[in-house]
Amino acid sequence: MRSEKTGIKMGEIDYGIFYSVILLLAIGVVMIYSASSYYAMFKEGDSMAYLKKQIIWSITGLISMVLMMRVDYHKLKKITPHLLIIAIPLLIAVFFFPAVNGAKRWIQLGPLSFQPSEYTKYVVVLFLAMSLDLKGDGVKKFWTGIVPYLGVSGFFAALILAEKNLSIAAIIMIVTYIMLFVAGGRIQDLIGKVAPVLLAAVLFFIFGESYRRARMLNFLNPWKDPAGDGYQLIQSFYALGAGGITGLGLGQSRQKTLYMPEPHNDFIFSIIGEELGLIGCFVIIALFILFVWKGIKVALNAKDNYGTLLAVGITSIIAVQAIINIAVVTGSMPVTGVPMPFISYGGTSLVINMTAMGILLNISRQCNKQ
């Protein structure tokens, strides 16, 4: 197919990416209903309350994905500076709204809410892809090729960090690091100069706040405070342990009956493990591995450097989020609020992720197939 306006030849989408995303989305809808039904009945008086919202967001996300995979991704270059500027007032606006669970991350307009940090992480990727493409070999120079990009990403990460959202801030910096490496940044600069600074910053922000420090220390031994900071992680262990190899069966979770706080959100993977067992967890992980593998192939075969960088950035966000979420739920790293892409409950995250998938699929339509 050829776009009438641009004259760019469009091929077939990468069906590996498409089907892996659709399957993860479908599993997410089913598991959100299973995980949230008891909690929703208790809190909302309707066991299907969260399911209904997630279905609406899923349909919205699918429409957005289909639209974006038909739009030439090069057109995004024109609006990227505007999208980046818009992110600043959005990130500041959250401070004028009430805090939720001690954090100010949402803009609330009646029954609807919007999380600007979810939008910002992809806008930063759009900016990096566009600017690094223009920079070319200039990225090999540390002070003019790497530091400015770390500064821009660091600025947005700092705004998000002020919202008490260390996880998304860390994801932005990790993905920036990956994109700088792919763009041609020198290994000695990235490993010898950038990595130590980023690691020191992470440790500073973790131990600089009492609640983060408590999470870090409690992650090492959650049973030290089983009714406090260690409670959620311990409940996750119980869920995963009870599931065994084949699980208790769909809908049969015990931890979702008000033992696990908000089981349809960040810890939904533990409910999957309890109901579908180790087999179900492996299926989820396999789908993410398929997605990442196909995303890397799209990046390698992209028709230009801009497409490569954009595909790497989008794929990295999903990969890093999935890795962190699974690591947190299994007790492999400190507890932090990172949702499972396509599966955890949440409208902003889902719709924006699906929009990004549309961009990635559009890049795959213009790949050099040979």
How many alpha carbons fall within 13 Å on the CB side of residue 241?
Answer: 7
Task: Report the mean per-residue pLDDT for the chain.
Answer: 90
Residue 125 has pLDDT above 60, yes or no: yes
pLDDT of residue 6: 43
**Per-residue pLDDT tens digits for 261-280:** 889 999 999 999 999 999 99
3-class SS of residue 190: helix
Two structure tokens written together for 240: 């995963």
Residue 9 binned pLDDT confidence (cut-offs 50, 70, 90): low
| Least-confidence region, from 21-30, 37-46, 213-222, 324-333 | 213-222
Residue 228 has pLDDT above 50, yes or no: yes
* Long-range contact set of residues 282-289: C-beta below 8 Å, sequence gap at least 24: 283/27, 284/24, 284/27, 284/343, 285/326, 287/20, 287/23, 287/24, 287/27, 288/20, 288/24, 288/318, 288/319, 288/322, 288/341
Between these two residues, 31 and 7, which has the higher pLDDT value?
Answer: 31
Two structure tokens written together for 222: 């959650």
CA separation, residue 1 to residues 67, 178, 253, 368 (Å)? 15, 33, 48, 15
> For residue 107, what are the β-bridge partners?
114
Residue 111 has pLDDT above 70, yes or no: yes
Residue 113 binned pLDDT confidence (cut-offs 50, 70, 90): confident
Q: How far apart are CA 177 and CA 158, in angstroms?
A: 16
pLDDT of residue 8: 59
**Comparing C-alpha atoms, which of 97, 119, 99 is closest to residue 108?**
97
| Phi, psi (deg, nearest 5) at residue 333 | -155, 165
**Per-residue pLDDT tens digits for 291-308:** 999 999 999 999 999 999
